[in-house]
Structure 1
Amino acid sequence: MAPSSAETSPKRERRKEARPGELVKAALDLFVEKGFAATRVDEVAARAGVSKGTLFLYFESKEDLFKAVIRDNIANLFPAWNEEFKTFGGSSAEMLHYAMDLWWLNVGNTPASGIVKLVISEAQNFPEIAAFYQKEVVEPGTGLLQSILQRGVERGEFQHMDTSKSVFSIIAPMIFLMMWKHSMGACAASANIIDPKEFIHMHVDLLLNGMSAKKTQ
């Protein structure tokens, strides 16, 4: 006896609600594997187990799908991070270490790290995507880190600096790590040369303490 529509409806509804997330996951994997230009929407649909027509019910274009990948995997993290740092009780140095760890845990050490390499490599050919990434990721990311630096300056923990420029000294090594992960780091001969967490903390310590030897009195 065939199941009634009432019996199958909840299951179908759950499946329908899951489809956007499944499509975004499939798109992330394929974009990172093949690049934005080389990825076809029918490939994304097939990997998610739906038809191309179903994909277009949720996303108007491949560009719209890629924006959803950026939003779901990176941009949506910032509101919670901003709230968390408002009540951070440690020093500004500890706050900076913690912020770098958060980024690596939630982005750098996940498939989403491939988005960074992808945007950098294809920004010139797809300026709309680059502009979206700038607005949704770069601006809130630099804003958060700049607020940590400014906190340190105002508390007398850091020396006076132009935080709008100094912030890129913090961002640069994170970009390097993600680029390395999806290039040389993917090769067996180079995979274990850099320990990401060790590299992050070493870099933060260099920024905080400088490289000059302390003179003894």
Structure 2
Amino acid sequence: MNATETHAPHKRERRKQDRPGELLEAALDLFVEKGFAATRVEEVAARAGVSKGTLFLYFPSKEELFKAVIMENVARPVAEGISEAESFEGSSGDLLEWMMLEWWRRYGATKASGISKLMMSEAGNFPALADFFRNTVIEPSHALVRFILQRGIDRGEFRAMDIHAVIHSVISPLIFLVMEKHALGACGQSPHALVPETFLSNHADLLVRGLKPETP
């Protein structure tokens, strides 16, 4: 037996290591398809090919499972964006457009974006989960946009502004795209459907033009 064979994990060990990811993937599929309330942990376990008892070894409740899905599929891309924005070398206008396009590529264009629609439709019934989503996703997202806007002001690229209000002007089209994708977009492709990347680039251009300092 060679060294590779000696140290390679057995199939059963690899399967055990993969289970949390497989459970999260199955849970994401079902939460997006059915919503939080209608999804049962038995269904998640069955789709992942394990027993309900095995699921509870990793996630003690449906709420904890949902939180883990949010952390992996929604909060993580936001955290990555914050880290990368801090080392961005271009203009603040370019950074704003980059952020919007990367948001679509890493989140909006993926099935995980259905979580945003789920939260809008079910948050009122699950206030604790709504608070969790606000703290782990919404607030960090706002912090990222706030960083970009303040960067532009500090560098003289953007005029002074009500940053809180402008944050919502930046984020609103992102939410619109997700809602359109999972509402009318789910009914079939329309000949008038938006091209997300084009829409976001155009919106970023409008924002940057409006945020430039006024010339004397």
Paired position in structure 2 for 1:208: 208
What is the CA–CA distance in structure 2 between the aligned matches of 1:163 and 1:69, rounded to whole Å? 30
1:6-33 Cα deviation digits (max 9, x unpaired): 9xx7211110111111010000000100
Q: CA deviation at 1:189?
A: 4.9
Paired position in structure 2 for 1:182: 182
Paired position in structure 1 for 2:214: none
Paired position in structure 2 for 1:130: 130
Is residue 77 of structure 2 the alignment partner of residue 77 of structure 1? yes
> Which stretch of the first structure deviates more once superposed, 192-201 or 128-137?
192-201
Structure 2: which 5+ runs fail to align? 1-5, 211-216
Q: CA deviation at 1:192?
A: 5.4
Residues 153 and 160, structure 2, Cα contact 8 Å, conserved in 1: yes
Q: CA deviation at 1:82?
A: 2.2
What is the CA–CA distance in structure 1 between the aligned matches of 2:130 and 2:73, rounded to whole Å? 16
Paired position in structure 2 for 1:50: 50
Q: Whose RCO is larger (CA < 8 A, sep 6+)? A: 2
Return closer, same or farther for 1:189/1:100 CA change in 2, 3 Å cut-off.
closer
The alignment's C-alpha RMSD in Å is 1.6
Residues 41 and 52, structure 2, Cα contact 8 Å, conserved in 1: yes
Paired position in structure 1 for 2:36: 36
**Identity value in percent:** 57
> Which stretch of the first structure deviates more once superposed, 84-93 or 201-210?
201-210
What is the CA–CA distance in structure 2 between the aligned matches of 1:93 and 1:48, rounded to whole Å? 43
Residues 79 and 140, structure 2, Cα contact 8 Å, conserved in 1: no
User: What's the secondary structure of 2:70's corresponding residue?
Assistant: helix
What is the CA–CA distance in structure 1 between the aligned matches of 2:114 and 2:189, rounded to whole Å? 20
1:95-151 Cα deviation digits (max 9, x unpaired): 000001111010000011000000111000001111011010001111011100011
User: What's the secondary structure of 2:88's corresponding residue?
Assistant: coil
Residues 78 and 141, structure 2, Cα contact 8 Å, conserved in 1: yes
Task: Give the counterpart letter for 2:133 in structure 1.
Answer: Y
TM-score by length of 1: 0.90
Paired position in structure 2 for 1:103: 103
Task: Give the counterpart letter for 2:56 in structure 1.
Answer: F
Count residues in correspondence: 204
Task: Give the counterpart letter for 1:12 in structure 2.
Answer: R
User: What's the secondary structure of 1:89's corresponding residue?
Assistant: coil
Task: Give the counterpart letter for 2:153 in structure 1.
Answer: V
Paired position in structure 2 for 1:16: 16
Paired position in structure 2 for 1:168: 168
What is the CA–CA distance in structure 1 between the aligned matches of 2:24 and 2:184, rounded to whole Å? 26
Residues 116 and 178, structure 1, Cα contact 8 Å, conserved in 2: yes
Q: CA deviation at 1:191?
A: 7.0
User: What's the secondary structure of 1:124's corresponding residue?
Assistant: helix
What is the CA–CA distance in structure 1 between the aligned matches of 2:124 and 2:191, rounded to whole Å? 29
Return closer, same or farther for 1:133/1:122 CA change in 2, 3 Å cut-off.
same
Name whichever structure is richer in helix by fraction.
2
Runs ≥4 residues deviating over 6 A: none
